[in-house]
Amino acid sequence: MPTYLEGLAIQFYRGIGPETQYIAPFSDMNFFVGENNAGKSVVLNLIAEHLNPDPKYSPSGKTDTHRGAKEGHFQINLGVSERTLRAELLRPLRETIRSSKQHKPPPLTEKQIEDITTNMTRQLLYKGGVWLESSNYSGGYCLLRRVYGKSFEKRLDVTQWEAFANIFGVVKYRDPSSAFRSFLENGVTSLSIKLPPRMIIPAKRQLSAGNEAFDDLSGKGLIQHLAEIQNPDFDEREKKTYLIRSTTSSAWSPANLTRCWKYQITANTCSCIWTTKSCRCPPLAPASTKSY
């Protein structure tokens, strides 16, 4: 399964104040675990509602703004793994070295180039990721200035770096660190990060008998929605197929499915959901159990 989101850096959002919170790599995480009010839902709500790499973006709701002793502008930055950046840097390098083999053997092997590139990207790792911001010049990404500043530490063998620079067109820089930065920024600019649509499923159901629209996964409007598809109008009879998959299976009767949902929201366990083909619900809850 691909990892679409590899890292987040958050500042001035709800309970997160001036100290930037770096969360990475997401590929190593399966759960957020913490005490009540520890900030788990803060991160999940931000991902669902405000994940936008545009630096000019700010949360629209006043409740999302950090209200602490020190206030500031909401900031969210994306992070990528060292592996992702290394792959992006190596892609054009491999193409260049393969084309150069047609004319003369290159001074560096593919393995040596991979090692040099790995050395470069490791220098950028900070709190689990390589951090980006939107570039006003390229329209893509650049390295996050508040993390990386204007200079890079050079940890490359001089002979290897000169050979590397001669192959890939960065010889115009007298200072190897400037060539290093130029090469990295070209690779970062070419990164393409596409985030799929997101949604959040609240842990607490908001069930009520009102006329609310059934337009999310919070449970709001569920009771009325079930009633409508159990007894649809004559011109909407196809709605009933969502509940009745077999006229001979009592497990798929509207009454049973309604019972499943009622039972599920009573602090008991139920394995039935709308689209399953079999219902393994326990018996009806005792009469003392609260009914919705």
pLDDT digit string, tens, across residues 122-152 = 888 999 999 998 877 766 788 898 888 765 5
What is the share, in percent, of the chain residues with pLDDT greater than 70? 58
pLDDT at 41 over 60: yes
- What global pTM score does this model have? 0.65
Three-class SS state of 79:
strand
CA atoms of 148 and 129, how far apart (whole Å): 12
SS3 content of the chain, % helix, strand, coil (to 5): 40, 10, 55
> Could you tell me which residues come within 8 angstroms of residue 47 by beta carbon, excluding any fewer than 6 positions away?
5, 8, 198, 200
CA distances from 111 to 84, 161, 185 (A): 18, 14, 22
Tokens standing for residue 232: 């649809």
pLDDT at 292 over 60: no
pLDDT at 7 over 60: yes
What are the domain boundaries of the chain?
82-127+156-189, 206-292
| C-alpha gyration radius of the chain | 27
pLDDT at 43 over 80: yes
- Terminal Cα distance for the chain, rounded: 38
